[in-house]
């Protein structure tokens, strides 16, 4: 990563949030305990290809009322709000939405709650066109957010023709995290699909369920000022693939 200028370090119960900016490109970077969790160009557009993939899938699905579990710098919420969607973000770290509003332009129209995702769903009475899970503790999604019981809660809050999208970080070629998530979601929904970047380690897969049968691999809809061709190439490498149903191999 190119050298950046520190802007802020915010100690929280869930790690130190560090904000820095590249003097060359104007890129603003969000890190937690030294691990990069988000970046935007100088106009505020995300530089994470999987966030652009989330956005493209939600636009295809015509989702208007969207719940996001996990936020970090909330760039997806900002993009969706600018597209006219009603966005609610639930994050266990109360500092995350505050940092997103102060440094990353999260609009006031986005509703933010501080809570564990599963606990929030148990008490929520809302009904959503889409629910997005992008929650991490370090490099891993908390396990209780990937079990069938959690996805049963998600379905209770999802519109009949709604979609659920889950970000899974793939660490190496033998990492079967996306398949495990798909198997849990299959206990709740009949249609489950995996969209995964082909190629390197430390890549992202989006596991989706609900009204997802007709969704296509998304193109780049909002072009950033910094390296748009790189993000286009990364999105082009995201392919739908079969997922493995054999439980005994990977659990």
Indicate the SS3 state at residue 38: strand
- The mean per-residue pLDDT over the stretch 145-160 comes to 97
Is residue 43 situated within a structural domain? Answer: no
Is residue 9 situated within a structural domain? Answer: no
Is residue 147 situated within a structural domain? Answer: yes
DSSP single-letter state for residue 139 = T
Tell me the per-residue pLDDT of 170-193, one tens digit each, with 9 for 90 and over.
988 888 999 999 999 999 999 999
CATH number at 140 reads 3.40.50.150
Is residue 98 situated within a structural domain? Answer: yes
Is residue 29 situated within a structural domain? Answer: no
Is residue 129 situated within a structural domain? Answer: yes
Is residue 27 situated within a structural domain? Answer: no
For the chain, what is the domain count? 1
d(C-alpha 68, C-alpha 78), whole Å: 11
Q: Which domain holds residue 69?
A: 48-214+230-241
Is residue 139 situated within a structural domain? Answer: yes
Indicate the SS3 state at residue 64: coil
Say what the pLDDT of residue 243 is.
87
Tell me the per-residue pLDDT of 4-52, one tens digit each, with 9 for 90 and over.
899 999 999 999 999 999 998 999 999 999 888 899 999 899 999 999 9
Say what the pLDDT of residue 189 is.
98
Q: How far is CA 164 from the centre of its chain?
A: 11
Contacts of 125 (CB under 8 A, 6+ apart): none
Tell me the per-residue pLDDT of 194-240, one tens digit each, with 9 for 90 and over.
999 988 788 999 999 999 999 999 999 999 999 999 999 999 999 99
């Amino acid at each position: 990563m190119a050298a950046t200028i520190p802007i802020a370090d915010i100690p929280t119960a869930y790690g130190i949030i560090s904000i820095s900016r590249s003097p060359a490109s104007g890129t603003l970077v969000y890190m937690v305990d030294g691990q990069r969790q988000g970046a935007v160009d100088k106009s505020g557009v995300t530089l994470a290809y999987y966030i652009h993939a989330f956005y493209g899938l939600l636009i295809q699905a015509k989702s208007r009322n969207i719940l996001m579990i996990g936020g970090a710098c909330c760039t997806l919420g900002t993009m969706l709000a600018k597209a006219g969607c009603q966005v609610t973000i639930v994050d266990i770290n109360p500092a995350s939405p505050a940092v997103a509003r102060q440094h990353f332009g999260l609009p006031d129209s986005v509703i933010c709650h501080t809570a564990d995702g599963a606990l929030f769903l148990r008490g929520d009475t809302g009904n959503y066109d889409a629910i997005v899970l992008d929650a991490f503790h370090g490099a891993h999604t908390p396990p209780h957010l990937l079990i069938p019981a959690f996805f049963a809660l998600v379905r209770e809050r999802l519109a009949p023709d709604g979609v659920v999208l889950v970000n899974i970080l793939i660490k190496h070629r033998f990492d079967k995290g996306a398949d495990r998530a798909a198997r849990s979601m299959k206990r709740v929904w009949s249609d489950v699909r995996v969209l995964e970047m082909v190629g390197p380690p430390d890549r992202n897969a989006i596991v989706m369920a609900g009204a997802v049968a007709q969704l296509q691999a998304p193109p780049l809809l909002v072009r950033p000022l910094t390296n748009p061709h790189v993000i286009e190439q990364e999105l082009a490498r995201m392919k739908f693939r079969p997922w493995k149903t054999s439980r005994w191999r990977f659990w």
